[in-house]
Amino acid sequence: MRLGKITQAAWNRSVRKPLKKKQCTVGKMAWEQKCAELEQQIQRTEQSQKTEQDQKTEQNQKIETGRMTVWSTASAGGKNANVGAYAVIKAAGELASQKVMAEGVSIHAILPEQMQEEDVKHLTDTAGELCKKMNLEICQIQVETSSFVTQMVVTATAVGEKKSTAIREQEMTVAGQELLLCGYAGLEGTLRILDESEEELGTRFVPAFLEKAKLLREKLVLPDQILSVKEQVSDIRQIGSGGILAALWELGEELQTGFDIDFSKIALKQETVEICEFYQLNPYLMTSAGSFLLVTGQSEEVIACLAEQGVSAVRLGCMKDQNARVIKNGEETRYLDRPAADELARWWKEHA
């Protein structure tokens, strides 16, 4: 494709048409648009017809209810166009960590010169399918090619709205509450490696194994599933760069507390174990957007509710009123180290 913004004809063929075919919810999205808007939140026509007094009254009501717009941006890179879907789920998952349901998403993709229009269509298909599943309005999709990148880089910005009463209390005490893992450690990284290196993995694993591994996409936890328990949890954290060990460290830093967990309880899929062994990667240090850590004083209720949503959750241990972040594994006891580099990033460096 040509350098710079893709042509209007290509955009209509590979962006607008696939979204229309999938019956995705889209805003006033157009090839020439450079700004995104969320239709259900922005009603300029009605606003222009209101009197100045009406607008002041509405503004006061908004302050009283304490509603605010919240957004989150996430990026994913790779040669496979599925990265668009991973950027979307990561951005929406970060909002879910703030107990906010994403309502809309804007997507910006930068492609290397050698990419074809078919790659744009694949990106739109996969991201659009996920947005439809998550009931997300697609506000905008911009696509351009650049000589500055060697692989596809997709950035997704998710937006939602929250009440001020939903803001996390900074002085809240979580000591004594249980720490749960919702989802599986290293799953996102496993799926992305599979997307990028299926042919190489085929030299070690039989096709049935790889096909079964692809189905693990259904095990990624969606925002509506995690938010089904938002009233029963004190804190939510999505597992991002650096894997579950980094997420545990960040959680302890945020809450200014320690914990005591059983390392053997961390859930891993066998496919993750075997693919990581093949590339000599540590799954506990690998990104896993679509999996979450939960802090709750109602673990039985939370686990049961998530099970009804088809989501697996396991107890890892308890939050403690201490500084030590203790990890036990059988007879061995150690303390959590500061976050290490992400294993998917290391894999990319070695396989780029």
pTM above 0.85, yes or no: yes
Residue type, 250: E
Per-residue confidence (pLDDT) for residue 29, from 0 to 100? 64
| Phi, psi torsion values for 207, nearest 5 degrees | -55, -35
Token code pair at residue 163: 């009440």
Strand spans (E) along 48-200: 67-78, 102-111, 137-145, 152-163, 178-182
Start-end of H helices in 35-76: 44-49, 52-65
Per-residue confidence (pLDDT) for residue 8, from 0 to 100? 87
- Beta bridge mates, 136: none
Distance CA 30, CA 245 (A): 42
Core vs surface per residue 93-108: b (16+ CB within 10 A) or e: bbbbbebbbbbbbbbb
Domains and CATH numbers, the chain: 4-47+66-166 (3.30.1330.10), 178-351 (3.90.650.10)
Contact 201, 275 (CB under 8 A): yes
Contact 288, 189 (CB under 8 A): yes
Per-residue confidence (pLDDT) for residue 34, from 0 to 100? 60
Which residues are CB-contacts of 79 (< 8 A; sequence separation ≥ 6)? Answer: 151, 152, 196
Residue 203 has what DSSP assignment?
A: T
Which residues are CB-contacts of 331 (< 8 A; sequence separation ≥ 6)? Answer: none
Per-residue confidence (pLDDT) for residue 53, from 0 to 100? 54
* Per-run averaged pLDDT (10 residues), the chain, 352 residues: 85 84 69 61 42 52 65 94 96 96 94 90 93 91 91 95 61 84 98 96 97 96 95 95 97 93 97 98 97 96 95 95 92 93 94 76
Residue 62 has what DSSP assignment?
A: H
Per-residue confidence (pLDDT) for residue 97, from 0 to 100? 96
Per-residue confidence (pLDDT) for residue 172, from 0 to 100? 64
Token code pair at residue 8: 């209007």
Per-residue confidence (pLDDT) for residue 20, from 0 to 100? 81
The position carrying tokens 């349901």 is 101
Supply angle C-alpha 41, 27, 81, rounded to 5: 125
Helix (H) or strand (E) run with residue 317 in it:
strand 313-320
Supply angle C-alpha 188, 262, 217, rounded to 5: 15
Helix (H) or strand (E) run with residue 5 in it:
strand 4-5
Per-residue confidence (pLDDT) for residue 2, from 0 to 100? 81
Distance CA 274, CA 267 (A): 14
Sort 46 into a burial class: Cβ within 10 Å, 0-12 / 13-18 / 19+: exposed
Q: 144 to each of 10, 46, 121, 153, 165, how far by Cα in Å?
A: 11, 35, 13, 10, 41
Distance CA 128, CA 170 (A): 37
Contact 312, 271 (CB under 8 A): no
Contact 173, 202 (CB under 8 A): no
Distance CA 302, CA 313 (A): 8
